[in-house]
Amino acid sequence: MRDLRDFYNPNLTATINGHEYTVECPTAAEGVKLRMMMADTEKAQEINDLEQINKLFKGDSDDPQGLLNSGEIPTGGLWDELWANNVTLPEAMHLGLTAVMYYGIGENVALLHWESAGKGLAATLEAMETEPDPVKPEPKPAAKPRQTRSRKKTA
């Protein structure tokens, strides 16, 4: 058999504002640990999202929550690429939570989360009512059929 890496990419890729970002696949040990946490409902509720995102983004800090609380932002790894492209914190967190779901639960759940802008899976009713829906592009008007002019024959 061929080498799996010749035709399979285990990484998550997603696009934000025209830039494609790659969240590298965790090691087998890290991935199994995340899957086990996500499979246990009680443990999944106790997960520090920012800590897990920082691990997947390969950030510099061991305490990204402490950074945010002190007014600093997480740096290193994918964080630097996101900040360099002026990605907002909500967008970065959405990418990160999608990655946590992708590696912790599976691709289908991650895709649902990504496409729902985070509102479809775990959003509260209040958040769904008060937060605007993601802006969708205007549909293009249908092309009008060309009218042909008939020419009258003159005798």
Cα separations in angstroms, 41 against 34, 45, 46, 69, 143: 12, 6, 9, 27, 51
pLDDT surpassing 50 at residue 127? no
Alpha-carbon distance of 155 to 2, in angstroms, equals: 77
Lowest mean pLDDT among 49-58, 93-102, 112-121: 112-121
Alpha-carbon distance of 105 to 99, in angstroms, equals: 10
Hunting for tokens 């995340």 — which residue is that? 34
Q: Where are the domains of the chain?
A: 4-130
Alpha-carbon distance of 102 to 13, in angstroms, equals: 11
Expressed in angstroms, the distance from the first to the final Cα of the chain is 79
Q: What percent of the chain has pLDDT over 90?
A: 56
Three-state secondary-structure class, residue 91: helix
Nearby residues of 36 by Cβ (< 8 Å), 6 or more positions away: 43
Lowest mean pLDDT among 34-38, 41-45, 66-70: 66-70
Q: In whole numbers, what is the pLDDT of the chain averaged over residues?
A: 82
pLDDT surpassing 70 at residue 150? no
Mean pLDDT of 1-15: 94
pTM beyond cutoff 0.95: no
